[in-house]
Amino acid sequence: MNKNICKIQFLNTNYSPIHLNQNEQLAEHLTIENSPILFGCRTGICGTCLVVIEGDIPPPSEEEKELLEVLAPENNQARLACQIQLTNDIKIIN
The domain spanning residue 23 has which CATH number? 3.10.20.30
Is residue 87 within 8 Å of 23, Cβ to Cβ? yes
CA distances 29 to 8, 20, 65, 74, Å, are 11, 8, 23, 28
Average pLDDT over residues 6-29: 89
Q: What phi, psi does 57 have (nearest 5°)?
A: -135, 165
Q: What is the pLDDT of residue 3?
A: 75
Sorting pLDDT into bands at 50, 70 and 90, what band is 78?
very high
pTM of the entire structure?
A: 0.86
Per-residue pLDDT tens over the stretch 19-76: 999 998 888 887 765 678 888 787 888 898 999 999 999 999 999 999 999 999 999 9
Query: In which domain, by residue range, is 13 found?
Result: 5-93
Domain count within the chain? 1
Q: For residue 1, is pLDDT > 60? A: no
